[in-house]
């Protein structure tokens, strides 16, 4: 059974992952094809947040399995 810290880190990873995906979807919906630069910047930021969440989640799971 993973500890509280591992569970919190996994939850934070999921939150960042889903938040990043929502940022990318929001950029596509809000800016559309008219403003490519703004949509690209916000979509890139969303991708970075999603990747950070994914990596944090994977690291927390690996650490919990190693304990």
Question: Radius of gyration over alpha carbons of the chain, in Å?
Answer: 15
Percent helix, strand and coil across the chain, each rounded to 5? 90, 0, 10
pLDDT at 28: 80
**Contact call for residues 23 and 45 (beta carbons, < 8 A):** yes
The segments of the chain whose pLDDT lies below 50 read none
DSSP category for residue 33: T
pLDDT at 67: 66
Beta carbons within 8 Å of 48's beta carbon, 6+ residues apart: 20
* Count of CB atoms situated within 10 Å of the CB of 65: 9
pLDDT at 52: 94
DSSP category for residue 42: H
């Amino acid at each position: 059974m993973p500890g509280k810290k591992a569970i919190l880190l996994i939850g934070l990873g999921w939150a960042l992952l889903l938040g990043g995906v929502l940022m990318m979807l929001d950029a596509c919906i809000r800016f559309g094809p008219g403003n490519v630069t703004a949509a690209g910047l916000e979509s890139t930021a969303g991708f970075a947040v999603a990747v950070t969440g994914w990596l944090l989640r994977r690291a927390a799971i690996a650490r919990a399995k190693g304990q």
